[in-house]
Amino acid sequence: MNGNLKVMYSMDEDTSKKKKKKKSFKHLKVLRKALAGAYTGCIAYETEFSKKGKIQVTVGDMLDDISTVEQLEALLTQDVSNCELISEGIEKSLKETSPPIVFSKVMNGIQWCPDTLESLRESFCKLPPISVKMIPMHRYAYNDGLTYLMLYQESLKKDGFTAEDFFKSRRHYTSLEQQIKVLVLGYCLGLINIDDKADKLAKQGGDKNAIRGYNVATRILQKIRGI
């Protein structure tokens, strides 16, 4: 009887550990480096179900074909055990970048389960203050430009704005998935960046006037430069 109880307890403990295992989203950093960094080469990955994929990237853009779409969907929706960038003797002289249309198109259609959405929300909440670059979303063929616009507008309202602030400001007509999608999209395309100065001031306990002055000056310079 005692032996059976011990076995049952061990099985419950193993199940509990599996449930508590946190999802990893390191592949989003690889996507960001490839797309925002105008990388040329391949994104090679393997899911926890041993499915391997390789996505060609040319100056930060990907082919708009069935194979690429399917592999990108798998990379974004399945648990990924390994993901890396591989150079394949590509010319380094290429400098012109083009909007990663296929990435945006895939983002339009994918859906995440509630557990994955919550894990993504927790991951973004850990980010320090961020800055958001405004750009017309139709340029990227993304169909929810309104939610991205809301993200940008919210970022202008608060000094030291964070992704957590964005989640807290969610309207009743906007879903968590819509918020997550624009954060993933903006992060991977380099439209969302860490506000290093605000983060440094916050860590040093800098006064709010200093942070506010920095943010205002930054926005003025961005407008002048046409950013």
Domain contains 20: no
Of all residues in the chain, the percent with pLDDT exceeding 90 is 60
Total domains, the chain: 2
171 and 95 housed in the same domain: no
Tens of pLDDT, residue by residue over 40-50, are 999 999 998 88
Q: What's this model's pTM, rounded to 2 decimal places?
A: 0.77
Tens of pLDDT, residue by residue over 19-44, are 556 788 999 999 999 999 989 999 99
Distance between CA atoms of 192 and 180, rounded to whole angstroms? 13
Domain contains 44: yes
55 and 124 housed in the same domain: no
214 and 127 housed in the same domain: yes
Residue 200: pLDDT over 90 = no
Q: Which residue, 135, 147, 61, is CA-closest to 105?
A: 61
119 and 221 housed in the same domain: yes
30 and 78 housed in the same domain: yes
Find the domain containing 57 and state its range. 26-109
Which residues on adjacent β-strands are paired with residue 47? 80
Domain contains 4: no
Domain contains 43: yes
Distance between CA atoms of 139 and 135, rounded to whole angstroms? 8
